[in-house]
Structure 1
Amino acid sequence: MGRMWLDSPVLWHSSRDRGEMNMALTPAQAALIQARWLNWYTADWDYGQTTLAFFCAAIGAAAVLNLASSWRARRSAKRPAGGAPQRAGVLARATAGFRFFTARQFRVRATGWYAPPLAAMLAVGAMAIVVLSLMLGPRPYYWASAAMGHSQPVATRSGWIALGIMPFMIAFATKVNFVTILTGTSHEKLQVFHRWSAVLMYITSLVHTFPFIVREIKMGTMNESWSTGTFYWTGVAALVPQTYLMALSWGIFRNPYYEIFKKLHFIAAGIFMAALFLHCDFTLTSWDYFFATAAIYASVWLARVLRTLYTTRLGLPATVTRAAPTLLRIRVPVPRAGGRLKWAPGQHVFVRVAGLGGAHALTSHPFTIASVRADAAAELVVREHRGLTGALARRVDKEGAGGEWTTRVVVDGPYGGVHIALQGYDRVLLLAGGSGATFTLPLLSDLAAHIKEGARCQHVEFVVAVRDTESYAWMADTVSAATALAPAHIATRVHVTGAPAKLGGGSGKGDDSTSESDAGSGHEAGRPDLAQLVHDAAHAGAARVAIIACGPDGFLYDVRNAVAGAQLEILDGFGPCEEVFLHTESYSW
């Protein structure tokens, strides 16, 4: 007779009827197994729902903070422009204190590892404390007698905690999700919570597993249970892919082979979820967590598919050319009249290139839109690496020098961007490292247009660091056009990191004293002093300052910690300005 992978008849929930009490139990033992936090028949309520409540409360608190931040930004933007900054009030100092934690970052120099922002680390720490306390706080961990139950208390509760984490772990990983809608945090910044909630789910899964194995070995029934039942088979079938997912999701394995990692990650996740579904076998309300997870994932997947079909149908025509020796430009024409693909400056999209064929036609990759919405096309400027961009570069090179390759692309998005109106700030500092200019460049163009129309913002400084002048050439016309719209309010600086000496043109100080032909831009050799740029922007006499940065990890590390220092100055009540807003975008997630 074959194995019965699910109990029959299959139900939505299993019964909570304990039946007759084992006569071998003492009165004290009988009372203990029926006590709250130890009762197997209510463990899903005690631990699964408590875990759900914690995550919901944390997301709700983040949503309230997001609403408060948006309200304060709108309120501050209505104040008259100009004038010296006032001493920060209680609300401004409290905001600065909170933003210190969102800006401050640490790194390990020896390994080159950059930690998430301090606020994310504290949130992950709180998540770990609650989960581990819920799992290890109640006593006892094990029953004093075999008659008290087959499942040990620590194994029971750790299993339900793992199931309670599961829907949120999946939600944190999706591109369209309710967490982003409520908190205003873009999907790529939620990846840290996806990864660490997965770690906690794995830890609780191991704690759930080991007591059963130890008990069976001690009783000498392991071989029998393995041979005749499905409980251990399905448990191992779930734990093996879960271990794979955990082990190979660390950056040292994930980043060098991301395209292969992503495909195998989805396959392993599917096997894990299917095996775990069978393992739970509709015990109490265990399948409710799977149905909730499926509803979350299926709804966002369907939303993405329907939006993609609406905006790009089965693909839009696109041309791919060389923008620089190591840069590619993807141009996707979008008709102004009736165009369905719409975006805001700084947003990114996921692109699937159908013309490449093979595996590349089945994968999508994120690229920032380097053009503003007023343009007739979405332009994506990307740096050549391995994988998709390498394949694109080889295909373009076949067309010869200066040639272009025409293909069709499917565009999913847009996502991300800056959700606060930058034109409402008195001063804006845009910082870009290399191709990070694809994020800050459309923001510059958008700000220039708003300043020309009389926006509050009075000064914008655009600073970009590139390897050579050819890496700047693709953006030069856009920078010049933006500066020409408000030459008295916009200053630009270009740092050529591969240049041995200062290049001609401009004062290089970011002021407005450069000649008209230079359009307020200075070209300098070497890396920019990011900490000094942030310090100068905060001490320039503006009441509200916004700093936007996009670049490699080391670039953002310097910007973040410089902004964190400015927040502490505001927090002590004697800061140089009333508010410093920071938004960062990273090359990788």
Structure 2
Amino acid sequence: MPQPNSSFATVAKAPNPDRDIRVARAAEYPKQYWYLLASFIALVSLCRILSLVYAYTRRSRERSIAWRLSSTVVNAFRIIVFRLTVPVGRSHIVNLAEIFLGVMYLTAMLTWTLINTTNTMGLKFDPMYWANRAATMAASQFPLLVALGMKNNIISFLTGVSFEKDSSKSTLCGFRTFLTFRQIKLGLDKKTISPTLLREERWLQCGILAMTSLTVLSIVSIRPLRSSRYDMFKVVHFVFGTIVLLGAYFHMQIEAQLGHYVWPAILLWALDRVLRWCRMLLFAQFSSSDNASIDVLSPNFMRVTADKPRFFYWSPGQCAYLTIPSVGLVAHPFTISSVDTKSKQDKLIFLIRVHDGFTRRVLNKVENSRRTRLLLDGPYSSPPVTRGFDGVVLIAGGTGVAFTLPLLLDLLQQSKQGKHLPCRRILFIWAIRDADHINWISAPLVDALSDLPKDLEVSIKIYITGSATRREELSEDWEDKDSGTDTPTTDSEKLNCDGILTASTVVNVKQGERPDFPSLLHAEMSNVKDGRMGVNVCGPFGLAEGVRSALGAPQIGTVMTGQPSIVLHVETFGMVSVRVYLDITFVDVLFPAVN
């Protein structure tokens, strides 16, 4: 029997015309998206440099009508974008700038994922096009996600946005969404996740492991869980973060040789930790065995004073991570409430509110010994620049003074040193619970208020929230939330809080009332005509919102009447949450000359 012609017996499989197109676009589009991100970061960095140059070279002078008009536009934009907020829960808000950036980030990711997904047969949104591309786009965001969360953060250094700011959350949401695209694709194809494939394919196992670990991280990162068990959160975050990075790398590398999207994130993650460990070892090398003392200021407040290690330099308002080996090995961040005078005798001072957990264990340790071994890591964060303003307002509630006090001391120090600052007025407001809290800052403040320059007006207003019977009513949203109760001071004790009370006539202490921010700020604005005013706030949620509301929508257009252009920096804290709101004003750095 004759054999059939081989040309008819074997039919060659036609090549898929879509494959090369899909592969090329999946490789090219993440690069295009990174070009967009890099351009945006470069633009903000350039604008920040211009803003800093302007702040350090600006001098007070008369303003023209043209300046007022341009500054009015900038001020209105700043108020709308940064001070109009949307509440999220009881003690969390987001401003319109955060919403806009988050939406734009997700929109850009969706655009590059779903664009040009029509195959050669005319089928639109072909899953074979966008599913794998979504995974590639998600993997390409790993370096950004890690970079935003680094303590040694090059993006923070360039843009001035602190690492602790929640802008990284929009990245996490977008990243999580696009991993879900890949998960949906696998779920639609039953054969893809068959039991046999799960047992045999390492790339799939690594991907599922990374996805599961990321889900766990998303759950434990919920603010109440994270804050209530911070030490446990740090350990879980370290372990599962490592699993996510390694799992994602092997998933991408084994399946598609795309591990180059992930290994830079692993490198950044490791580099950040190596730098932190090296810094801690360096500071420990130049410190004594018992380099810190702990003083109990009240049943729920304490002061930690540490010797300044060699090579440790910081700016006012920065924070450092503290580790006390005898209490625990997890580092906790606290604001440095002292200023760096470049002297070997400088001390690092931390005013700490006692809560449950680490701070409670530190307080219990004081019962046995006031001296302890302290490991330092820092300094970190990007505090506001107080130069370049005609007037500066510093507002604090409770231990928020740890942030505003060094800003005040630094301004006074620069003025005494004869540096040509445009600042003519400084208003310092502090809301506290008991009069004896004044003693926390009396010593450095008394020294700073002596021999003030004649051309600088300083006003310090301290509000004591009242007697024990009214304390809860007045301080509910204005002070640190108690985990216990402070011992109330008597009237005689309040009157005997000397030092700061008798040091200078610029100090005004009021009892039984809270600050009226609209009146105080409007009065200060009338004293800073045709200039710039910086308002810096640190305190609980209620206090921060009171200041934000006072500087909100009613102030639009006031610059045209001669009122100052205002830049607001707000940091809020609480027992459950820590939130940073930075009125960084993209317009500030785009148009520094008109602010």
Instruction: Give the partner amino acid of 1:350.
Output: Y
Provide the rounded CA distance (Å) in 1 between the counterparts of 2:12 and 2:187. 23
1:201 aligns with 2:175: yes
| Letter matched to residue 138 of structure 2 | A
Paired letter, 1:249: S
Cα separation, 2, equivalents of 1:115 and 1:518: 39
Cα drift, residue 379 of structure 1:
0.8
- In the other structure, the counterpart of 2:358 is 388
CA distance in 1 between counterparts of 2:555 and 2:256 reads: 50
CA separation of 1:58 and 1:269: change in aligned 2, threshold 3 A: same
CA 312–417 in structure 1, closer or farther in 2 if over 3 Å, else same: farther
Tell me the equivalent position of 1:296.
268
Query: For each residue in 1:145-171, what CA deviation from the matched residue of structure 2 results, as whole angstroms up to 9, or x when unmatched?
Result: 9xxx9x822211110110111110000
Q: Tell me if 1:172 matches 2:178.
A: no
Shift of 1:349: 0.8
Instruction: Output the CA distance in 1 between the equivalents of 2:562 and 2:119.
Output: 55
Other-structure match for 2:523: 536
Per-residue Cα deviation, 1:493-521 (whole angstroms, up to 9, x for no partner): 1112243499999xxxxxxxx99765432
**Alignment match, 2:27:** 45
Q: CA deviation at 1:173?
A: 0.3
Q: Distance in 1 between matches of 2:516 and 2:429?
A: 11
Structure 1 residues 167, 345: CA separation in 2 closer, same or farther (over 3 Å shift)?
Answer: same
SS in 1 for 2:462: strand
When residues 412 and 102 of structure 1 are mapped into structure 2, their CA distance, relative to the original with a 3 A threshold, is: farther
Does residue 413 of structure 2 align to residue 446 of structure 1?
Answer: no
Range 171-180 or range 60-69, more displaced: 60-69
Measure the CA separation in 1 of the matches of 2:429 and 2:73.
30
Structure 2 counterpart of 1:222, from 167, 188, 194: 194
TM-align CA RMSD: 3.2
Cα distance in 1 between the residues matched to 2:273 and 2:441: 35
| Pair 1:63 & 2:45 matched | yes
Aligned-residue offset at 1:227 = 3.4
Distance 2:372 2:555 in 1: 48
Select 1:480's aligned residue among 446, 453, 459.
Answer: 446
- The change in CA–CA distance for 1:565 and 1:487 in structure 2 (over 3 A counts) is farther
Which residue of the partner structure matches residue 434 of structure 1? Answer: 398
Maintained 8 Å contact 1:369/1:380: yes
SS in 1 for 2:551: helix
Q: 1:242 to 1:289 in 2, by over 3 A?
A: same
Distance in 2 separating the partners of 1:52 and 1:22: 40
| Structure 1 segment 151-300 matched on structure 2, within 5 A | 152-189=128-165, 192-217=166-191, 222-284=194-256, 286-300=258-272
Indicate whether 1:334 and 2:308 are aligned: yes
Asked whether the 8 Å contact 2:386–2:392 carries over to 1, the reply is no
For the 8 Å contact 1:106–1:114, the answer to whether it is kept is: no
Distance 1:257 1:87 in 2: 54
Asked whether 1:115 is paired with 2:93, we answer yes
The Cα offsets for residues 426-470 of structure 1, whole Å up to 9 and x where unpaired, read as 211110011000111112122222333444322111101112223
Is 1:377 the equivalent of 2:347?
yes
Which letter does structure 2 place at the counterpart of 1:300? Answer: D
Q: Specify the alignment match of 1:139 in structure 2.
A: 117
Q: Tell me if the contact between 2:292 and 2:307 (Cα under 8 Å) persists in the aligned partners.
A: yes
Write out per-residue CA displacement over residues 528-579 of structure 1, whole angstroms, 9 at most, x where no aligned residue: 2233333332232342211111112222223234334476335xx5154343
Q: Check conservation: 1:541, 1:577, Cα contact below 8 A.
A: yes
8 Å CA contact 2:463, 2:514 repeated in 1: yes
Residue 419 of structure 1 deviates from its aligned partner by: 4.9
Verify the 8 A CA contact 2:319 2:334 in the aligned structure 1.
Answer: yes
Shift of 1:240: 0.7
Aligned match of 2:430 in 451, 457, 464?
Answer: 464
Q: C-alpha separation between the residues in 2 aligned to 1:250 and 1:550? A: 23
Q: Give the secondary-structure state (helix, strand or coil) at the position aligned to 2:446.
A: helix
The equivalent residue for 1:88 is: 67
Using the alignment, how far apart are the partners of 1:523 and 1:246 within structure 2?
A: 46
Structure 1 unmatched runs, 5+ = 1-20, 506-513
1:483 Cα offset (Å): 2.7
CA spacing shift, 1:87–1:553, aligned 2, 3 Å: farther
Evaluate the alpha carbon distance shift between residue 272 and residue 386 of structure 1 in structure 2; reply closer, same or farther with a 3 A threshold: same
TM-score normalised by L of structure 1: 0.81
For the 8 Å contact 1:567–1:580, the answer to whether it is kept is: no
Return the offset for 1:487: 8.5
Q: Map Cα deviations across residues 116-174 of structure 1 (whole Å, 9 max, x no partner).
A: 332222111210111122223443499999xxx9x822211110110111110000000
**SS at 1:493 equivalent:** strand
Q: Which letter does structure 2 place at the counterpart of 1:126?
A: M
Tell me what 1:577 maps to: 563
Query: Alignment partner of 1:354: what SS?
Result: coil
CA distance in 2, matches of 1:103, 1:449: 31
Q: Give how far 1:67 is off.
A: 2.2
Per the alignment, residue 85 of structure 2 pairs with 106
Change (3 A) 1:527 1:45: same
Task: Check conservation: 1:85, 1:577, Cα contact below 8 A.
Answer: no
Residue number among 356, 377, 383 corresponding to 1:418 in the alignment: 383
Tell me by how many angstroms 1:377 deviates. 1.0
Measure the CA separation in 1 of the matches of 2:219 and 2:12: 43
Q: Distance in 2 between matches of 1:311 and 1:229?
A: 47
Q: Deviations along 1:75-96, whole A, 9 cap, x unmatched?
A: 4x2345xx68966346534542
Aligned amino acid, residue 176 of structure 1: N
Counterpart AA for 2:198: W
**Equivalent position to 2:371, from 386, 393, 406:** 406
CA 1:581–1:434: 2 relative to 1, 3 Å: same
TM-score (norm 2): 0.80
| Cα shift at 1:213 | 2.7
> What secondary structure is seen at the aligned counterpart in 2 of 1:88?
helix
* Alpha-carbon spacing, 1:163–1:56, altered in 2? closer, same or farther (3 Å): same
Per-residue deviation, 1:257:
1.5
Deviation at 1:285, TM superposition (A): 5.3
Identity of aligned residues (%): 22
Matching residue within 294, 298, 302 for 1:320: 294
CA contact (8 A) 2:76 2:557 kept: no
Matches of 1:156 and 1:142 in 2, distance apart? 17
* Counterpart contact for 1:331–1:378, Cα < 8 Å: yes
- Pick which of 428-437 and 87-96 moved more: 87-96
The whole-number CA distance in structure 2 between the counterparts of 1:367 and 1:348 is 5
What are the Cα deviations for residues 34-90 of structure 1, in whole angstroms up to 9, with x where unaligned?
44xxx1x22442332133223222212221321232233234x2345xx68966346
For the 8 Å contact 1:346–1:443, the answer to whether it is kept is yes
Match of 1:353?
324
Q: Which amino acid aligns with 1:305?
A: W
**Separation of aligned partners in 2, 1:130 and 1:141:** 22
Contact 2:293/2:304 (<8 A) preserved: yes
Over 3 Å counting, the alpha-carbon distance change for 1:295 and 1:143 in structure 2 is farther
Higher mean C-alpha deviation, range 231-240 or range 153-162: 231-240
- After superposition, the Cα gap between the structure-2 partners of 1:240 and 1:395, relative to the gap in structure 1 and judged at 3 Å, is same
